Homo-oligomer: A and B are copies of this chain.
Amino acid sequence: MEVFYASREGGEALLGPEESLHAARVLRHKAGDEINVIDGVGSLFVVRLTEVSKRECRGTILQEIPGWGSHPYRLTMAVCPTKNLERFEWFAEKAAELGVDRLVPVIGERSERESVNMERLRRVLISACKQSYKGRLPEVSEPQSVRDFIASPAEGLKAIAYCFEGETRRLSFADALRDYKGDTYTVLIGPEGDFSPEEAGLALAAGFLPVHLGSSRLRTETAALTAVEGVYFKYM
């Protein structure tokens, strides 16, 4: 099933240049054709095309299927962007395929990268949601410091993956998921250089549960995806 991404204008769907080109030139759609559209807000729309051009396609919404491809939990992933940005974008793609609600690029004191390409990240997420039949695009927050994120309000199970020295006892994330009875999750994943001890201490003080992600030494993006997979499996 082909899914297009479009903006919604009342009872109409409007395809941008990229999607219009694909619809008009590649798939050779004509006015009168019915297409499936998501607008990233949660629904699937069945749309009858009224105007078709390579620059702009427009159509009338015939049917709306709300909560299309939705999941029964709310997951916020706060992840330090990787030095190689492709690895972060790959994580975002896979997290969107599985089901994530909010991505927060967080910058730690030991982060080697302090920015993400928001436009490219958005494209990755749109493509992943079309591919995995999800009506809602994950929300992407502007990059912020780890400290600011820790200080911001968060509900539900808050977990930080960090190899704490000494006393701090860590639950496995699997056990943390088993013990937690709610459906709201926030997971904080550090940079290649890990969190600073100060950042980790602030997270604990703010109520983040110290967890480990098993015995393997995982790259930042693999650790982040492993957390998403853990939540995904809990509802499988």
Contact = CB atoms under 8 A, between A and B. Distances in A.
Contact of A132 (B69, B71, B216, B232): B216
A97 B132 contact: no
A180 to B, nearest CB: 15
Contact of A218 (B97, B214, B234): B97
A194 B71 CA distance: 24
A235 B174 CA distance: 9
B99 A216 contact: yes
A94 B175 CA distance: 22
B222 A233 contact: no
A236 B94 CA distance: 21
Interface residues of A, number: 33
A75 interface: no
Contacts of A174: 233-234, 236
A230 interface: yes
B218 A132 contact: yes
Interface in A41-74: 69, 71
Contact of A235 (B71, B134, B214, B219): B214
- Most chain-B Cβ atoms within 10 A of its Cβ — which of A99, A132, A222? A222
Q: How many copies does the complex hold?
A: 2
Interface string A201-236: 000000000001111111100100110011011111
A24 interface: no
Given A71-B216, A90-B90, A131-B217, A233 B232 contact: no
A98 interface: yes
Nearest to A221: B94
Given A131-B217, A216-B97, A232 B236 contact: no
Contacts of A133: 217
Interface of A: 69, 71, 90, 94, 97-99, 131-134, 172-175, 212-219, 222, 225-226, 229-230, 232-236
23 contacts: A69-B215, A69-B217, A71-B216, A94-B222, A97-B218, A97-B222, A98-B214, A98-B218, A98-B222, A98-B226, A131-B217, A132-B218, A132-B219, A133-B217, A172-B236, A175-B236, A213-B236, A216-B232, A225-B225, A229-B230, A229-B233, A230-B233, A233-B233
